[in-house]
């Protein structure tokens, strides 16, 4: 398959996902029954984001035009270990390997094992020549490169097993928000999307906010209360109740509005249903704090402060094709694998 044919087939998949089908609905329901964090609403949001931002012919052409990609199949095998923290989180890697002309040797996450095989089936029914590009397997073999996503702990194992190959090995990262106290109600409501979407389980979800010393937490929590219905999900509510109880029992100072629990903490990663905050004194102090943890930050959300230009509120979980995980250009890496 030529590059233009691969792009056309991906655009076809995008059109299919927008239109939907009974079988797609079935796979979405199976995904939820397999993993109750993946509600039908969240899975459909992920599918909509992929079909609109990724699987658009013009966007794909503009994206790929910047790289010296192989026009035909390269024969190179790239192992993919996909994460399962939010629906279809590994799709960008799969898309990148295919668009580069390589073969994907894919180990699916047990938490998200129905949708990607369905997508590949739809592509194969439309164009049989796509079949050799994908190998779904529990074992990764005869590799020329590896892209593996997991926790800090699993990354050590990935490095031990796959360190001899060209690789991208991703560890824990989180998004943070920088607030000035001058945000509008609308901006704080949009920030709620960055915090609560996918129950906060994604690496692009805001898990911590940096705030000035005189920050109005009451106003902040009042606006986040717009997302109070999130506690209707049993798994989320169980986590909120447990964390709230442990916070009370341990005498930890906290703030809460019934759907999110806030505690002061220097750590970026927070528990489910919990949000960390840290004070900063001035712009220089803020830059120093962000610099100290830059390798743990996936993205920064907020309004521009000095020369800091964060992602706008509400856009953290709406990545474009060029928003590469951990800031590592996946296509550039894959071009290198092809040489």
Where do the structural domains in the chain lie, given as residue ranges?
3-171, 174-302
Kindly tell me if the per-residue pLDDT of 339 is higher than 80.
Answer: no
Residues 6+ apart with CB under 8 A from 54: 10, 14, 60, 91, 92, 95, 321
pLDDT on residue 260? 97
pLDDT band at 218 (very low <50, low <70, confident <90, very high): very high
Give the integer Cα–Cα distance in Å for 69 and 78.
15
pLDDT digits (tens, 9 = 90+) for 57-97: 999 999 999 999 999 999 999 999 999 999 999 999 999 99
Task: Find, among 235, 210, 205, 232, the residue nearest to 220 by Cα.
Answer: 210
- B/e letters for 286-315, b = 16+ CB within 10 Å, e = fewer, are beebbeeeeebbbbbbbbebeeeebbbbbb
Question: Rounded mean pLDDT of 286-299?
Answer: 96
Mean pLDDT of 132-154: 94
Place of tokens 């329901």: 29
Of 152, 180, 183, 155, the C-alpha closest to 267 is 152
- Annotation: CATH topology of 3-171: Aldehyde Dehydrogenase; Chain A, domain 1 (3.40.605)
Measure the CA–CA gap between 97 and 104, rounded to whole angstroms: 6
Q: Is the pLDDT confidence value at 338 over 80?
A: no
pLDDT at position 223 is 94
| 3-state secondary structure (DSSP) of residue 333 | helix
Count of residues in the chain: 339
The least confident of 25-29, 109-113, 244-248, 304-308 is 304-308
Residue 306 has pLDDT above 90, yes or no: no
**If you average pLDDT over residues 306-314, what whole number do you get?**
92
User: What confidence category does residue 197 fall into, taking pLDDT thresholds of 50, 70 and 90?
Assistant: very high
Q: What is the mean pLDDT of the chain?
A: 96
Question: Could you give the CA distance from residue 280 to residue 214 in angstroms, rounded to a whole number?
Answer: 10
Tokens of 263: 């505690």
Q: What contacts 218, CB < 8 A, 6 or more positions away? A: none
Task: Give the bridge partners for 175, in sequence order.
Answer: 206
- CATH code for the part of the protein at 174-302: 3.40.309.10
Phi, psi of 138 (to 5 degrees): -75, -20
Going from the C-alpha of 118 to that of each of 22, 28, 33, 70, the distances in angstroms are 12, 10, 16, 26
Give residue 206's pLDDT band: very low, low, confident or very high (50, 70, 90). Answer: very high
The whole-model pTM stands at: 0.95
From CA 210, how far away is CA 201, in angstroms rounded? 20
Average pLDDT over residues 23-32: 98
* Mean pLDDT calculated for residue range 174-199: 97
**According to the model, what pLDDT value does residue 336 have?**
95
> In b/e form, how buried is each residue of 28-55, taking b as 16+ CB within 10 angstroms?
beebbeebebbbeebbbbbbebbbebbb
The whole-number pLDDT of residue 75 equals 95
């Amino acid at each position: 398959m030529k590059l233009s044919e691969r792009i056309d087939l991906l655009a076809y998949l995008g059109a299919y996902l927008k239109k939907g089908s009974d079988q797609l609905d079935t796979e979405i329901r199976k995904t939820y029954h397999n993993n109750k964090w993946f509600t039908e609403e969240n899975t459909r949001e992920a599918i909509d984001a992929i079909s609109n931002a990724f699987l658009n012919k013009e966007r794909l052409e503009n994206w790929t035009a910047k790289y010296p990609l192989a026009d035909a199949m390269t024969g190179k095998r790239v192992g993919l270990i996909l994460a399962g923290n939010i629906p279809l989180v590994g799709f960008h890697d799969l898309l990148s390997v295919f668009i580069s002309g390589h073969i994907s040797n894919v180990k699916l996450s047990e938490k998200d094992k129905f949708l990607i095989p369905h997508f590949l089936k739809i592509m194969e029914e439309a164009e049989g020549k796509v079949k050799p590009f994908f190998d779904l397997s529990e074992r990764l073999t005869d590799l020329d490169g590896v892209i593996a996503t997991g926790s800090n702990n699993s990354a050590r194992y990935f490095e031990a097993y796959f360190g001899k190959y060209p690789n991208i090995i991703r560890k824990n990262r989180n998004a943070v928000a920088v607030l000035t106290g001058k945000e509008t109600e609308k901006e704080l409501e949009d920030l709620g999307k960055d915090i609560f979407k996918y129950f906060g389980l994604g690496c692009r979800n805001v898990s911590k906010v940096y705030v000035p010393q005189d920050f109005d937490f009451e106003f902040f929590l009042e606006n986040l209360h717009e997302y109070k219905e999130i506690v209707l999900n049993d798994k989320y509510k169980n986590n909120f109740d447990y964390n709230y109880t442990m916070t009370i029992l341990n005498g930890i100072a906290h703030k809460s509005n019934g759907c999110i629990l806030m505690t002061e903490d220097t750590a970026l990663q927070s528990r489910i249903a919990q949000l960390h905050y840290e004070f900063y004194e001035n712009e220089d102090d803020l830059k120093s704090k962000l610099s100290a943890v830059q390798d743990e930050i996936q993205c920064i959300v907020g309004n521009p402060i000095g020369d800091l230009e964060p992602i706008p509120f509400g856009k953290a979980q709406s990545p474009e094709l060029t928003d590469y995980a951990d800031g590592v250009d996946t296509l550039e890496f894959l071009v290198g694998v092809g040489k």
